Chains A and B, each alone.
Chain A
Amino acid sequence: MKKLLEIAKKVCDQAEVYSYENSESEVDFTHAELHDIKSKIQSGVALRIIKDRKLGFAYTCNLINREELLENALDSLKGKVKANYEFPFTKNLPNLNTYDNAIEKLAENLFVEECSRICDILKSKTDGEIEFGAGKDVTKIQIVNTSGTDVTNLTSSYGIGGSLIFPGGAAGVNRVFSKKKFQKTPDSILDEMISLYNSAKKVVEPKSGKMKVLFMPFSIYTLTWRIKSGTSAMSIYEKISPVADKIGKKIFDDKFTLYDDPLNDKYPGARAFDDEGVACKTFTLIENGVLKSFYYDLNYAKKLNAKSTGHGYRTIDWGGDPITLKPVPSLQYLTIKPGNKTFRGLVKMIDKGIILDGVMGAHSGNIPNGDYSVGVSPAFYVENGEIIGRVKDAMVAGNVYETLKNIVAIEDTVHDCWGGRFPAILCDNVSVATKR
């Protein structure tokens, strides 16, 4: 890496080398039986150079010929992509506990045993279809640049997750659990899956209308996806954010606080720097309903006369190979501040409404505008604080900037789930469309 940086330095004003090494393996269970085991050992290097305020970019999986990679980057300068920013000099980062070497000895047979144990428990207490998977991941990221930054992050993670699927379809109760090393899945997670599943086996057909909707942690990403769009420096620059002029203003109910928590090394994957080597920090976007900040990478910070907030990540909405992607503003560690109600307490507060445990189609629709319209997958119908049954073929729709003004209460616990760490949120006056 350093040799590449040296030769790049000679022919351009600034350079940055990003190296990514990853090894992972996972086991999958379907029908509560072992189905597949697969593994990956992958790596790559990406080079960004800046010359005369123009950006050059190149990458490779196998750094065999450094000159050729540099040549590719120099060639892309011809496109004259503007780069008025400077690569940062980052030092004195906090020492995060992100790696546990126990992960190296963690073998696939342990994943098989743990998934079997869970499948046996779920099988003995429900009649649902069971899909579970477990795996480990070790990732090393190193960034060196011509400003003097040389930072490395090594993370270990173990994760397990699965679905308890209702008969006839694929909608089910999903839960995940992750740590820096192997740990048995807590009974509380399995008990909640079993209890929700068993209370909603009957299919009911409520009438369409506006009602209370309890957004469960696994459906919250529908809402945060829209907030991420609205608060990104990219959306501000492109003039497509509906909250561009709302800093300091109340845009949601005052129970709602949303922050990014990259330094929290209680969870796997914590980071002290982003994919551009800028230091990360705990970062509040929304505090008690008031919009506090937008988030920036180096590029959009410069365009908007701001400073990077440490949110430049090589990512896209789905998958993507980090070495092939340029950093863009992204929130990777979103957390919603918990409230003061238990999950059961929230259900008791529903006179008539649904528990939205999972969704389909969160990626569809007019995301910049804040609109969402999602299929339920699954949802449970509640009357007078009791789950009556499961709702099929229904859609929940609204606009995040309206929905989160109508928060009734928030759960007192945050859960690991897709898109962040979220509690359940009960909202009123949300549109639910069914066939009736």
Chain B
Amino acid sequence: MFEKLRKILNKTDADYADIRYENKKDTFITFKGKELTRIGSNSTDGYVLRVLKNSGFSSVAFTKESDAKNAIKSAIENAKLLAKNTEKPIKLAKADVIKDTFFPELIEDPRKISINEKLELTRKLNSIPLKHEKVINTTVGYGEVIRERYFLNSEGSEIREDLITTRLGGLITSKEGNLLQNIWVSTGGSDGFQNVRNQEENFEKQTSIVVDLLKAKPVKAGVYNCIVNPDLAGVFAHEAFGHFSEADIVESLPAMREKMKIGSKLGNDVVSIIDDATIPNQLGFYKYDDEGVAVRKVQLMKNGVLTGRLHSRRTAEEFDEPISGHCVAEDYRFAPIIRMGTIYIEPQKDSFENLLKKLGDGLYIIDAKGGQTAGENFTFGAQYGYVIKDGKLAGMIRDIYISGNLYQTMKDIIMVGNDLVLTKTGGCGKGQTNIRSCHGGPHILIKNVVIGGA
């Protein structure tokens, strides 16, 4: 394959060029209720070519080798057009020339497990919620995505890496009278099939919660002091803060770029945030990004002070900051963009019990249900929660939606727990879907949170 890619690169008359070929193998098994609705394995493939010509940088994605000639022409013409119409020349930060083949170590290789075994495991886990009379539906599936990547650039890098992601989970829906409630259940990872085994307890627990939610009270809209659990703390780190550590987002928002200067004090002293895709055996793990740069650990915030940023080679040069290896694509259909790898709030010393004691009266909200940001503002849902009175759980609540301002909330995080948990499945959508987007944190206490209710 590298020879084929080299031929295409050799025909590309550019100051810099890279090409990535991917063969993507999917296996999907889906149940809706008791019924199997999808099963099968397939593969799709394609190329992404990027060129830097006359200081203009452009990309083209194509699926047929016979389209390579047109693709090269289009990328070069577009790069020239960019160069002609922009005052600031595009440069790429210097990166090491890498020749490497990296296949991740798998504890249990999913490719060696028969589709029948995957089917029976999914069927068994799906049957757990369906046993409950109040559960009226499930959408539970197994998904396996294998990206076989070949990367070549005109500087001499030649990298072969596989990314193997498994996940098992879905949505459980309960009903009583006219009231419907649902909850997500999920597990998975980047280091093998074992991640989706032994999940009975997880499915039992989520079933019990979705049934209990039928009796829970809708939360009253208002402003509360809240403890958020590790999953939600991770969503906060990702949605509210993380996206603005991505250089391609802040570069398009000058006011945010000004506020997010390295060295700015943005958060409370207890807040430290890291992105570290090099932690092995985590969902977000990879070695090289999709422009051939080795990913490194980045301390994004230390004791409330902004200390780092996530970059592509282009933005690292533009910001005059070090490259970080965070330029990642969903698959062969896309040119890479800057993505978080494994982002988390660093744990501190306080136990969950200490957080409850400090909270006194407020809410304890648990697990994320979608989130979105627009500049400094963010919103996300929680799957369920509890009212806390005098440091003790006092009744389950539902329909919890949080809205907030990044800068204010960073200051309003007043206590950070000691119990870090990282997520096992992801699905960040930033034009492309990143199924390996991993986030986490310990329990954290935030004051003055706006809760929308429903």
Which of A's residues lie within 8 Å of B, judged by CB?
25, 30-31, 33-44, 56-62, 72-73, 75-76, 78-82, 108-109, 112, 116, 129, 131, 165, 167-171, 208, 234, 238-240, 242, 318-319, 321, 323-324, 326, 358, 360-361, 363-366, 368-369, 371-375, 377, 392-399, 431, 433-435
Contact = CB atoms under 8 A, between A and B. Distances in A.
Contact of A80 (B36, B81, B259): B36
A102 B294 CA distance: 45
A31 B432 CA distance: 22
Given A171-B375, A394-B403, A368 B182 contact: yes
Contacts of A394: 403, 450
Interface string B352-385: 0000000000000000011111111111110000
B222 interface: yes
Contacts of B222: 208, 433
Given A30-B251, A240-B136, A168 B44 contact: no
B43 interface: yes
B374 A377 contact: yes
A41 B36 contact: no
B245 interface: no
A25 B36 CA distance: 38
Contact of A361 (B42, B372, B375): B372
B253 A238 contact: no
Given A40-B60, A360-B374, A240 B40 contact: no
B255 A321 contact: no
Contact of B46 (A61, A171, A369): A61
A393 B404 contact: yes
Interface in B419-434: 429, 432-433
Contacts of B75: 39
A375 B374 contact: yes
A364 B59 CA distance: 33
B454 A242 contact: no
Given A169-B377, A434-B450, A75 B61 contact: no
Nearest to A318: B429
A239 B137 contact: yes
Contacts of A393: 377, 403-405, 408, 450
Given A36-B82, A238-B136, A326-B38, A129 B254 contact: yes
Given A39-B74, A321-B333, A360 B454 contact: no
Given A61-B45, A129-B255, A375-B452, 16 more contacts: A37-B82, A40-B61, A42-B333, A44-B63, A59-B42, A76-B39, A108-B78, A112-B81, A169-B376, A170-B375, A363-B372, A365-B399, A371-B454, A373-B381, A375-B377, A398-B454
Interface of B: 26, 29, 32-33, 35-46, 57-65, 67, 70-71, 74-75, 77-79, 81-82, 85-87, 115, 119, 136-137, 173, 175, 178-182, 221-223, 251-256, 259, 330, 333, 335, 369-381, 399, 401, 403-405, 408, 429, 432-433, 448, 450-454
The secondary structure that dominates the A interface is mixed
29 contacts: A33-B86, A37-B81, A39-B74, A40-B333, A41-B61, A58-B40, A61-B46, A72-B41, A76-B40, A109-B81, A170-B253, A170-B376, A238-B33, A239-B175, A324-B44, A360-B373, A360-B374, A360-B377, A365-B381, A369-B181, A375-B374, A375-B378, A392-B377, A393-B404, A394-B403, A395-B450, A397-B221, A399-B454, A433-B403
Given A61-B46, A321-B333, A365 B405 contact: no
B377 A38 contact: no
A39 B454 CA distance: 42
A323 B331 CA distance: 15
Nearest to B255: A168
B453 A433 contact: yes
Nearest to A42: B63
A364 B40 contact: no
A82 B45 contact: no
Nearest to B213: A366
Nearest to B379: A375
Nearest to A299: B37
B374 A397 contact: no
Given A38-B335, A109-B81, A208-B221, A79 B376 contact: no
Ranked 10 nearest A-B pairs via Cβ? A169-B375, A170-B375, A79-B39, A395-B452, A375-B379, A364-B370, A76-B40, A373-B401, A364-B381, A361-B379
A324 B173 contact: no
Contacts of A395: 221, 379, 401, 403, 450-452
A361 B44 contact: no
Given A36-B82, A165-B253, A361 B371 contact: yes
Contacts of B180: 240, 242, 366, 368-369
Given A109-B81, A392-B377, A365 B401 contact: yes
A324 to B, nearest CB: 7
A15 to B, nearest CB: 15
Given A361-B401, A392-B405, A393-B450, A366 B377 contact: no
B42 A324 contact: yes
A129 B451 CA distance: 29
Given A58-B40, A368-B173, A168 B375 contact: yes
A38 B62 contact: no
Contact of A319 (B369, B377, B433): B433
A373 B399 contact: yes
A364 B87 CA distance: 41
A26 B354 CA distance: 53
A170 B256 CA distance: 9
A143 B335 CA distance: 29
